[in-house]
């Protein structure tokens, strides 16, 4: 379960009352994605956890002292110790109540103002430290240009997430607000899905609560509910943002604590009030830590370290290529300079430091090498130009190969998360061996025969079969062996994940079937747990193996986009384990 915008609004209000105006006495990392602050405010010492974990982004006041969980002093930690430790926490704010972005503004007596921006947004979660000019000092997760909708790198200006472009959950005064809101109750599916599709700031739990309050059941059809009831439910849930009348608590059932909310919820189990929203979050995430034990944790950890090491190795190779790549025009400039050195050789005096050539519209200045004759220098320039010319031909091909390897390693990271048994985990290590990216210690382990395993098979609405590949080899099988040319093929856009196929067998899947398959594609991907995941839909005949790509890497044509939540759909039945 993810922390949504309304929960963050409750947390922000709580923190503004309790720790704003206090002094930060200690800064530490509780894990690679999470920061702990000890704040002294109102004669009380408080412990603030701010986390950008991809599956558990959150922030709350902890009931006890936070412990250091990372020995390494990261660049971000060093900057936080410089700018935030001994600084005043001036304010805690949520600029847009519909976005999962919270700003912690600090002022240091020596170094001045800085802001820590927390974005607990699932796989895109980040903690970003910016200076007074809103320029990024560092962050937990660096995002290069082209890797996401925003570049997040040290030295670059901070840009907030793109607006959602949806309805506000309250009447914002626009003349056509209710005309636009009418779409919510005109959908053919469930009301809660319609709320998520059209209303900003809506999470699955909040949308289901709206459905319960407006229609009496969490799965009530959208067309069975009056629009006014939906609007009233939305406004009642968001009213505490203005009034401060929050009702935080946790949800309990026979499994224990299964959720949290800043309002009295009716969706799952029994609602149990808590004193603060921080208390509710701490109870829930403490149980998450002590939940089901992974029986393959040791093997999974070792292979994950191997995959992460391979990623770093490929990234270093890409960085080295960037350094070796000639600048645009460098080859031509070297050749031109060499030709002029030969042409004007007789005019160059011994000990002369530069040669200036009047080209008419510009002047060419050539630095002379005092240790060589002009002819020797020209020969070296021609030799250097030849090497750079060959590099200019080789480097783009090599870069494309390394980028493909990096994409494939991203797929292996997802495969490792999805792996359910030892053979599937070992298969990922063997894929690294095939790429020559295993460490020396890992490569000494004996080779193991890789078993592909069977893709998952589901029965969806109208009895359509949906086939899901859970790793690169299964993706290859699903796309090029199991599917028929006129089936429907789905995959998350721009992220590693499952290849999903809807077997048509003469039928025509409707929008509900496609939506369910899109949810499966998002759920079995790096976007698991996210909202608004873009999923490509096309036919297998428009999917081909990527030239020079690895197992399961494809080129897609003639696709369209549907948007789905990265959640396991409710209206499917799994036919194999």
CATH, residue 56: 2.30.310.10
Same domain, 511 and 436: no
Task: Please give the Cα distance from 412 to 48 (Å, whole number).
Answer: 34
Q: Within a domain: residue 341?
A: yes
User: Alpha carbon of 211 to those of 195, 237, 502: distances in Å?
Assistant: 8, 12, 29
Which two three-digit tokens encode residue 67?
């412990």
Of 139, 168, 194, the residue that ends a domain is 139
Identify the CA nearest to 319 among candidates 395, 433, 397. Answer: 395
Same domain, 15 and 111: yes
Measured in whole angstroms, how far is the alpha carbon of residue 460 from the centre of its chain? 28
Tens digit of each residue's pLDDT (9 = 90 or more) over 408-453 = 898 888 888 878 778 888 888 888 888 787 766 666 666 766 666 7
Tens digit of each residue's pLDDT (9 = 90 or more) over 174-212 = 889 999 999 999 988 899 999 999 999 999 899 999 999
For the chain, how many structural domains are there in total?
4
Domain span holding position 563:
456-574
Dihedral angle of Cα 26, 30, 35, 41, to the nearest 10 degrees: -40
Identify the CA nearest to 12 among candidates 98, 87, 79, 123. Answer: 98
Task: Please give the Cα distance from 94 to 161 (Å, whole number).
Answer: 13
Give 71's pLDDT tier (boundaries 50, 70, 90): low
- Kindly report the pTM of this predicted structure: 0.57
Tens digit of each residue's pLDDT (9 = 90 or more) over 472-519 = 889 999 999 999 999 999 999 988 999 999 999 888 999 999 999 999
User: Alpha carbon of 412 to those of 248, 284, 313, 409, 417: distances in Å?
Assistant: 39, 30, 15, 5, 9
Q: Within a domain: residue 370?
A: yes
pLDDT-above-90 percentage for the chain: 50
116 membership: H or E segment, kind and range? strand 112-119
Contact present, 273 and 264 (Cβ < 8 Å)? yes
Q: Within a domain: residue 564?
A: yes
Of 115, 139, 163, the residue that ends a domain is 139
Task: Please give the Cα distance from 424 to 413 (Å, whole number).
Answer: 12
Of 91, 118, 139, the residue that ends a domain is 139
| pLDDT score at 293 | 47
Give 292's pLDDT tier (boundaries 50, 70, 90): very low
Q: Strand ranges (DSSP E) for 377-464?
A: 456-459
Same domain, 132 and 55: yes
Same domain, 303 and 398: yes
Same domain, 10 and 113: yes
| pLDDT score at 513 | 95
Q: Within a domain: residue 156?
A: no
Task: Please give the Cα distance from 91 to 86 (Å, whole number).
Answer: 15
Give 361's pLDDT tier (boundaries 50, 70, 90): confident
Q: Within a domain: residue 376?
A: yes
Backbone φ, ψ for residue 348 (5° rounding): -90, 120
The dihedral through the CA atoms of 161, 166, 168, 172 has a sign that is positive
Q: Within a domain: residue 326?
A: yes
Same domain, 82 and 106: yes
Same domain, 83 and 182: no
198: how many CB neighbours lie within 10 A of its CB?
19
Same domain, 251 and 323: no
Q: Within a domain: residue 411?
A: yes
Same domain, 192 and 243: yes
Same domain, 466 and 439: no
Same domain, 233 and 320: no
Instruction: Report the largest interatomic distance among the alpha carbons of the chain, rounded to a whole angstrom.
Output: 96
Please say if the pLDDT value at position 272 is more than 80: yes
Q: By three-state DSSP, how is residue 354 classified?
A: strand
In DSSP terms, which residues pair with 488 in a beta bridge? 502
Same domain, 462 and 413: no
Q: Within a domain: residue 171?
A: no
């Amino acid at each position: 379960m993810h922390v949504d915008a309304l929960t963050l609004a409750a947390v922000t209000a709580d923190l503004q009352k309790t720790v704003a105006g206090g002094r930060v006495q200690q800064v530490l990392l509780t894990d690679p994605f999470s920061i702990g602050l000890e704040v002294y405010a109102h004669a009380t010492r408080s412990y603030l956890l701010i986390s950008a974990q991809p599956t558990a982004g959150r922030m709350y006041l902890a009931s006890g002292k936070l412990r250091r969980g990372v020995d390494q002093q990261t660049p971000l930690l060093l900057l936080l110790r410089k700018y935030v430790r001994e600084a005043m926490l001036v304010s805690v704010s949520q600029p847009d109540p519909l976005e999962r972005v919270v700003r912690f503004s600090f002022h240091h007596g020596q170094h001045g103002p800085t802001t820590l921006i927390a974005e607990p947004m699932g796989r895109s979660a980040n903690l970003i430290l910016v200076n007074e000019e809103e320029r990024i000092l560092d962050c937990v997760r660096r995002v290069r240009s082209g890797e996401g909708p925003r570049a997040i790198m040290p030295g670059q200006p901070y840009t907030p997430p793109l607006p959602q472009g949806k309805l506000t959950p309250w009447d914002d005064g626009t003349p056509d607000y209710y005309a636009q809101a009418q779409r919510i109750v005109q959908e053919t599916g469930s009301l809660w899905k319609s709320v998520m599709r059209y209303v900003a700031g809506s999470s699955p739990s909040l949308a289901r609560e709206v459905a319960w309050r407006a229609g009496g059941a969490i799965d009530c059809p959208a067309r069975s509910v009056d629009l006014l009831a939906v609007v009233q439910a939305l406004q009642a849930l968001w009213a505490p943002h203005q009034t401060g009348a929050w009702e935080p608590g946790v949800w309990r059932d026979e499994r224990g604590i299964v959720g949290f909310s800043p309002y009295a919820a009716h969706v799952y189990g029994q609602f149990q009030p808590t004193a603060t929203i921080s208390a509710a979050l701490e109870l829930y995430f403490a149980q998450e830590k002590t939940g089901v034990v992974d029986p393959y944790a040791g093997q999974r950890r070792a292979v994950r370290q191997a995959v992460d090491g391979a990623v770093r190795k490929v990234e270093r190779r890409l960085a080295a290529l960037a350094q070796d790549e000639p600048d645009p025009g460098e080859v031509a400039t070297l050749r031109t300079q060499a030709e002029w050195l030969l042409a004007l050789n007789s005019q160059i005096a011994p000990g002369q430091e530069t040669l200036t050539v009047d080209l008419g519209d510009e002047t060419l200045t050539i630095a002379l090498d005092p240790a060589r004759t002009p002819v020797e220098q020209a020969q070296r320039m021609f030799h250097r130009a030849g090497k750079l010319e060959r590099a200019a031909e080789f480097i783009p091909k090599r870069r494309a190969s390394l980028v493909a390897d990096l994409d494939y390693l991203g797929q292996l990271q997802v495969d490792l998360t999805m792996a359910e048994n030892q053979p599937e985990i070992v298969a990922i290590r063997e894929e690294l061996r095939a790429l020559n990216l295993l460490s020396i210690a890992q490569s000494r382990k004996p080779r193991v025969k890789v078993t592909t395993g069977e893709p998952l098979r589901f029965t969806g609405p109208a009895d359509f079969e949906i086939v899901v590949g859970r790793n690169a080899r299964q993706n290859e099988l699903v796309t090029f062996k199991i599917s028929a040319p006129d089936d429907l093929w789905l995959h998350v856009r721009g992220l590693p994940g499952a290849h999903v196929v809807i077997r048509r067998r003469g039928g025509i899947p409707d929008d509900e079937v496609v939506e369910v398959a899109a949810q499966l594609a998002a759920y079995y991907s790096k976007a698991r747990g996210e909202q608004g995941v873009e999923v490509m839909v096309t036919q297998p005949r428009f999917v081909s193996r990527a030239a020079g790509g690895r197992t399961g890497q494809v080129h897609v044509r003639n696709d369209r986009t549907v948007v789905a939540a990265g959640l396991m759909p409710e209206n499917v039945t799994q036919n194999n384990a």
